Amino acid sequence: MTKEELEQKQSSDITPEVIGSERAILERTWDNGKGFYAWLTDCNHKSVGIRYIVTAFIFFVMSGSLAVTMRTQLMGPENRILGPDMYNQFFTTHGTSMMFLFAVPVMLGMGVYLVPLMIGTREIAFPRMNLYSYYLFLFAGILLFVALILNIGPDAGWFAYVPLSGPEFGIGKRVDVWSQVVSITEISALAVAVNIVVTIFKQRAPGMSLSRMPLYVWSMLVTAFMIIFAMPAVMLSSTLLSMDRLSKVSTHFFNAAEGGDPLLWQHLFWFFGHPEVYIIFLPATGFVSMIIATFARRRTFGYTALVMSAIATAFIGFGVWVHHMFATPLPQLGQSIFTASSMLIVIPNGVQIFCWVTTLWLGKWNIKAPLVWIFGFFGIFVLGGLTGVMLASVPLDTQLHDTFFVVAHFHYVLIGGGIFPLFGAIYYWFPKMTGRMLNNTAGVVNAVLMFIGFNMVFFPMHILGLDGMPRRVYTYATETGWGNLNMLATIGAYVMAIAAIVFVVNVVYSFLRGPIAGDNPWGADTLEWSVSSPPPTYNYQYIPEIEGPNALWDMTKDHAVVTGLHLYSRELLHTTIHDASPEKRHQTHGPSIFPLLTAIITAGGFITFMFTPWSVPTAMFLSAVCLFGWFWSNSTQHRPPFASIKDNLIYDDGGVPREVAI
């Protein structure tokens, strides 16, 4: 059907009364109900997104307090607050939780909330799978922290190198907890990634061709593809590790004595582990692009260059993993190749930085808290990038391997490149999510405290690392002379903790008492700012046609809007992948209990696999039963009965087929 045929001037019969009554019907159709059961089964992308974000921040606070405790232990030489065994559990849980339970899920949660709104659709592609992924993530987090409380927290480091984590040295169930937490969270991340790709491919508002997609949506698309190709490696390797460890299975994948290879573990882990950094960083670049465009009040400079940089980063990101393994006996040629590719990845990142700086340079600044966080991002991330270039060089890396220099480097990259833009994004989108503004002054204080505290913690670690202080030691001798810098770092950790408290207080207070935000408090350009704050369950009553890369700034007064979507069922508009021209209507699904049941069975299967291999067939059987119910209930929502029809026939409400031209 051509666009001209679709666009019919029929506006004369649309009166405010019609709009109002249609809205009332939509409210009812998309209502998820009230009460505890409705809360458990609510799979709307906005509820799930917010739950992801809130849960991830709770894990952030928990693993942050582990970090503060570790810093307290290290504040002076020969301290005895944490013993060596507890310290091992603390740093492993801190790393595992920050990576698998905070950084990745919070970025995915933001994507789950924002992507459907930003591309102008009413729901994510597979809402029930989305809810399933959330519950898996939640159960994995509970498993990790309950294990820590029970003194069976993992203790072999967040990358769990064999043989330390293998059956011979990793006694007890500690490493099993780690490997099951990883497997469960990765299933969850993979499910979200598939969801995001399909949503972006099929559900963009008419007219939002690929070249008009907001940069944040681009960054989430690239991230989702990276997840799809990176996460299987860690899921598989953590499963293999748990099979090696389970005494009734006892495979030999990483057992050198039986033809296995401990180095294989490092390859598999880092083949995931390095792309993981970009899985955290790329969504953050999306935040940076959005925030800078809004607060520099101009179009982002170098749209194409930014998109290409994101894609280039993703590709090169899969070819650098060996730089984590320079201290292993690898062929020199291989090391040189990975040095080259590690340095190569600086180019797309540099292009991004220059595009943002140019946007700021050409813009008229509106300095608000989100922009202040982005300034912090520039300073810290660039420094982290520079130490990254240093570590890409083999001789320097061999010297600095496993020292605090590395700890400093990756915290600069991850906190600078991931967390600062994330906090900026929370200050930026909080009004949309809750309908209330966060306090701006507190936001600036928060950002400045975080910046100062961060540099106090991690800058001294560069010097400590150069001085030879190894990472992952619970204490050090007085004669080393490392006491003063460690004390400085510990004070910085408390400054960061105060910054986090300012944030929590600001969020809680503003959620209850903050000024009402209105639809578009920042004068921003993306589509989500055109609907009320918080948005209605169905997001858009009339999906607008997009007329340029900056949806709202380019929108003309009499722009076209989509009409004719079903009012009495949860219907979405599917558009073509490249041009986003309307293609079909698609009925999506509402609340269901099956995602929760299936998640309980999946997580239960993984957790019991720590003890018996029979959990696999049991969980497979039970989840097959559950999925049967899930699909059956999905299917019954599709009412049209069958009649022998041809390809281009569809059904009216009464089940009467009619012909359409496609």
Partner 1 sequence: MSEARTAKNVALDVSKLPTTLFDAHSALWWGNALLLAIETAMFGILIAIYFSVMMQTEPFPPPRVERLPVLYESFPNLTLPIVGLIVIVTSLIPSIMLDKSARNKQVGMIKILLPITLTFNIVAIVIRYYEFDSLLFKWEDNAYGSITWMILGMHMFHLIALACEDVFLLAWTYVKGVDDKHLLDLTVLGVYWYWVVGVWVVLFGIVYLVPRFTL
Q: Which is nearer to partner 1, 261 or 467 (CB)?
A: 261
Say how far apart CA 175 and CA 165 lie, in whole Å: 6
CA-closest candidate to residue 594, choices 213, 187, 132: 132
Least distance to partner 1 from the beta carbon of 394, Å? 23
Least distance to partner 1 from the beta carbon of 583, Å? 6
Positions in 105-134 near partner 1 (CB under 8 A)? 125-126
Number of residues that bind partner 1 (CB under 8 A): 96
CA distances for 257 relative to 33, 252, 392, angstroms: 59, 8, 32
Which one of 342-350, 360-368, 492-500, 556-564 is the stretch in contact with partner 1 (CB under 8 A)?
A: 556-564
Least distance to partner 1 from the beta carbon of 143, Å? 23
β-pair partners for 582: 575
**Mutual orientation of helices 483-513 and 440-466 as an angle, nearest 10°?**
160
Say how far apart CA 236 and CA 452 lie, in whole Å: 40
Least distance to partner 1 from the beta carbon of 596, Å? 20
Q: Which is nearer to partner 1, 329 or 641 (CB)?
A: 641
Residue 206 interacts with partner 1 (CB under 8 A)?
Answer: yes
Least distance to partner 1 from the beta carbon of 435, Å? 14
Helix, coil or strand: residue 579: coil
Q: Which is nearer to partner 1, 118 or 406 (CB)?
A: 118
What's 85-105 look like in SS3?
HHHHHHHHHHHHHHHHHHHHH
Cβ neighbourhood burial of 303 (10 Å; 0-12, 13-18, 19+): buried
Q: Which is nearer to partner 1, 243 or 394 (CB)?
A: 243
Query: Which of 354, 509, 542, 553 touches partner 1 (CB under 8 A)?
Result: 542
Displacement of CA 47 from its chain's centroid (Å): 16
Say how far apart CA 114 and CA 528 lie, in whole Å: 8
Residues 561, 543 contacting (CB under 8 angstroms):
yes
Helix H or strand E encompassing 311? helix 303-317
In eight-state DSSP terms, residue 328 is S
Residue 203 interacts with partner 1 (CB under 8 A)?
Answer: yes
Residue 562 interacts with partner 1 (CB under 8 A)?
Answer: yes
| E strand intervals along 166-314 | none
Helix H or strand E encompassing 582? strand 582-587
Residue 650 interacts with partner 1 (CB under 8 A)?
Answer: yes
Half-sphere exposure of 456 (CA within 13 A, CB side): 20
Positions in 212-231 near partner 1 (CB under 8 A)? 228-229, 231
Least distance to partner 1 from the beta carbon of 7, Å? 5
Residue 558 interacts with partner 1 (CB under 8 A)?
Answer: yes
Q: Which is nearer to partner 1, 319 or 640 (CB)?
A: 640
Q: Which is nearer to partner 1, 231 or 438 (CB)?
A: 231
Residue 519 interacts with partner 1 (CB under 8 A)?
Answer: yes
Query: Which of 7, 27, 31, 168 touches partner 1 (CB under 8 A)?
Result: 7
Positions in 15-34 near partner 1 (CB under 8 A)? 19
Helix H or strand E encompassing 574? strand 571-575
Helix, coil or strand: residue 650: strand
Positions in 251-310 near partner 1 (CB under 8 A)? 251-253, 255, 258-261, 264, 267-268, 271
Q: Which is nearer to partner 1, 180 or 203 (CB)?
A: 203
Residue 173 interacts with partner 1 (CB under 8 A)?
Answer: no
Contact pattern from residue 604 through residue 643 relative to partner 1, giving x for each residue in contact according to CB under 8 A and a dash for the rest: ----------------x---x--xx--xx--x--x-xxx-
Positions in 450-479 near partner 1 (CB under 8 A)? none
CA distances for 637 relative to 26, 64, 84, 104, 116, angstroms: 17, 44, 57, 33, 22
Half-sphere exposure of 213 (CA within 13 A, CB side): 28
Q: Which is nearer to partner 1, 228 or 498 (CB)?
A: 228
Positions in 230-249 near partner 1 (CB under 8 A)? 231-233, 235-237, 240, 243, 249
Say how far apart CA 150 and CA 148 lie, in whole Å: 5
Which one of 4-12, 31-39, 463-471, 502-510 is the stretch in contact with partner 1 (CB under 8 A)?
A: 4-12
